Chains A and B, each alone.
Chain A
Amino acid sequence: MFQSFRQAMAWLHTWFGLVLGFVLMAAFFFGALSVFDREIDRWAIPETRIAPQPMPSYEKLLRPAFERMQPTPLAIDAMRPRVDGPMPAHFDTVDSWSAYTTHRDPVLALYAGYQVPHAKDAEERIWAYATIDPRDGRLLPDEQLKIGSGFFFPLHYGLTLDWKNLGIWIVGFSALMMLAALVSGVIMHRKLFREFFTFRPGKAPLRSVLDLHNLTGVVALPFHFFFALTGLLIFASTYYFPLGETQLHGLHERHEQAEARETGLPHARADVSAGLANVDAMVAEAQRRWHEHGKAGEVGFLVLQHVGDANGYVSVYRAGTDRIALVGDGIHFKASTGAVIHEDPPATPVARVSEFLTGLHLQHFRHWLLRWLYVLGGLTGAACIATGFIFFVEKRKKQHAKTGNQGSRVVDALAVTTVTGMLIATLTLLIVNRLLPERLPAAWASRGDLEVYLFWAGWALAMAHAFVRSAPVAQERANPAWYEQCRTVSAMALAAVLLNWITTGDHLIKTVFTHPYWPVAGVDLFLLASAALATVAAHRLKARLGADQLAQSTEAGHA
């Protein structure tokens, strides 16, 4: 089949890159947006446009909020088939209450897990979620979609295909293919070092597209390799290689028992009711201990386990604002007395490496310049894949035009769909978010669901347009959908900025100068920059299209 090793690698690079490149585009692009997920959330939910808040007082604010929580009717219905007997009217046995925040979160996420009487799997919990304003404990409406952290972020690693975690598997396999494409790409090119510095924009389109493909691939190679690899590692033990839950369950169990003995943190309830000491005092004690160890910090994660039970304990974890490694430095207290049960020991060397790698991918630390470099790296990855598609088309379209093969036409239309179409889908979501009324008729889908449906509808429309306009590619000409969609992107990005102004009164003069609020200003500025780039791209694509047509008609005239 293959004449040489290099040819085998080229085949692998071309075909796996083509098929899974479409998934990788989404992973890179929405991953790049997820770097600023909290900021996009602020843009999308105007009532949360406030400064980040520290973890509020448990006694004053969190306890009443936790006590009000209950699973939604939807969650109860979903649980019903996994329970023998009727569902209770109220869930009373709290397995855990927890609150999570970061240095970029003005709102606080609350989680409550309850035991389910007569559940087929006694370990299974039913969950309730809430988002509150940490200043006054006010409940924020849950049907509002957190576009950044609640949609772009899961889209980035699981395509929001939740059925049997299919999306996570598809993205995982694509990440493996990203690694394979990087290795095979390096093998394919003998003059790797020279290509590092080669970009010939004036040359024939085929050559400059390949230059750009190599440049974006090689310059950011460590970035791409690192993110694909750490992405795989973050999910490996839970999804891709769940050995601890399956084949090596015995070893895992042995470890859990040893850990429970060592830490003294009870795995289950004692079924003896008990009171709760002052949690704020426990938090203060945890902060005092961190300070003593030379790492004073804020609380990122607060967990109350086995609430109301004699075995109950409270875990206080430190926010990872000031270090790359995703660390917790947890301190655990006996709930009924407030006495310290256990303090997490310093990490082992291997754990430190693992925390560093996952921390560098998930970036909970505070470093705005690095955050922007991540966006740039992610977009470079997307550009590398997109130029790969274009190279595929440019290389074949002459041959395909001669033989009547529709291959390059289809690939080109799919490339339009994943490049400009993906931008149109994203902008549709932002525009719809600003246009839909706060309250929708009860019979409709929830506001958040509707936003997501329209996101996919916008993408489908862009795809249909790309295919409808693709006929010229089969005759070796360019698809006009490229420049038409670029124009649409620039108009939509402008519209999103204007709609933000009209519906919330937050324009750039206010968010940059008079009342600086960078999360919203940053999104608006990014949208304006995208509009400008898309306008330039549309203009140049249009000019090239005109030149193409002219050349073809002269050719026809000569013939």
Chain B
Amino acid sequence: MPRTFTIDTSGSPRLHIAARVGAAVLGGYGFAWGINAVTMALLSAAGLEFHDAEFLGNLLGVLAFLVVFLWTFAARRLWRVWAVLTSGGALLAGTGSWVQSWLV
């Protein structure tokens, strides 16, 4: 029998959908920004030209946005999605800034 999993349905379904869409759009954007920042900073540190690092950062950022957007809707526990996206995004962006401060 295929494994069925239930997504937390407590509370109003409308509120739940709003929270999920919010996580996908806002959390996803923040996370994508973080991926972008850390990629650009690390590739710059590795000696890549700025606009090359920027292009690869953008590419990874957009693809990461797509993946976490889909994951947000597939994930079982929404609080975990919010936690991963916000803290992960902040951590990645912070690392980007830290690498930059070390380079410039």
Contact = CB atoms under 8 A, between A and B. Distances in A.
Interface of A: 1-5, 8-9, 11-12, 173, 176, 179-180, 183-184, 229, 232-233, 236-237, 240-241, 243-244, 247-248, 250-255, 348, 350-351, 353-354
Contacts of B57: 241, 243
A247 B37 CA distance: 8
B6 A251 contact: no
Given A179-B66, A350-B48, A251 B41 contact: yes
B42 to A, nearest CB: 11
Contact of A354 (B5, B40, B55, B62): B55
Contact of B50 (A5, A184, A232, A244): A244
Interface residues of B, number: 45
B9 A1 contact: yes
B104 A247 contact: no
A350 B55 contact: yes
A248 B40 contact: yes
B56 interface: yes
Interface of B: 2, 4-9, 13, 16-17, 20, 25, 32-33, 36-37, 40-41, 44, 48-52, 54-59, 61-62, 65-66, 69-70, 73-74, 93, 96-97, 100-101, 103-104
B2 to A, nearest CB: 8
25 contacts: A1-B9, A2-B7, A2-B73, A2-B74, A3-B6, A5-B74, A9-B70, A176-B62, A176-B66, A180-B69, A233-B59, A240-B62, A243-B96, A247-B93, A247-B97, A247-B100, A248-B40, A248-B100, A250-B100, A250-B103, A250-B104, A253-B104, A255-B51, A348-B49, A354-B52
State the majority secondary structure of interface residues on A.
Answer: helix
Given A1-B9, A233-B62, A248-B100, A243 B70 contact: no
Contacts of B61: 236, 241
A4 B5 contact: yes
B55 A233 contact: yes
Contacts of A240: 58, 62
B62 A244 contact: no
A9 B54 contact: no
Contacts of A244: 50, 54
Contacts of A236: 58, 61-62
A4 to B, nearest CB: 6
B37 A183 contact: no
B55 A241 contact: no
A183 B63 CA distance: 12
A494 to B, nearest CB: 43
Scoring B2, B16, B17, B40 by chain A CB atoms within 10 A of each residue's CB, the highest score goes to B40
Given A173-B25, A236-B58, A237-B58, 7 more contacts: A8-B74, A176-B62, A243-B36, A243-B57, A248-B100, A254-B50, A255-B50
B21 to A, nearest CB: 9
Scoring B8, B48, B62, B101 by chain A CB atoms within 10 A of each residue's CB, the highest score goes to B62
A253 B20 CA distance: 38
Contact of A248 (B5, B17, B41): B41
Contacts of B49: 255, 348, 350-351
A389 B33 CA distance: 32
Nearest to A173: B25
A240 B35 CA distance: 13
Contact of A247 (B7, B55, B65, B96): B96
B86 to A, nearest CB: 16
Contact of A254 (B5, B48, B103): B103
Contacts of B59: 233
A382 B61 CA distance: 27
B5 to A, nearest CB: 7
A132 B83 CA distance: 57
Scoring A176, A229, A241 by chain B CB atoms within 10 A of each residue's CB, the highest score goes to A241
Given A9-B74, A176-B66, A176-B69, A351 B51 contact: yes
Nearest to A4: B4
Contacts of A251: 40-41, 44, 50, 100, 103-104
B36 A241 contact: yes
Nearest to B5: A4
Scoring B4, B9, B36, B58 by chain A CB atoms within 10 A of each residue's CB, the highest score goes to B58
Contacts of B36: 241, 243
Given A1-B13, A1-B16, A9-B74, A254 B62 contact: no
Contacts of B16: 1
Nearest to B52: A350
Contacts of A5: 74
A393 B103 CA distance: 56
Contacts of A183: 66, 70
Nearest to A235: B58
Contacts of A3: 4-6
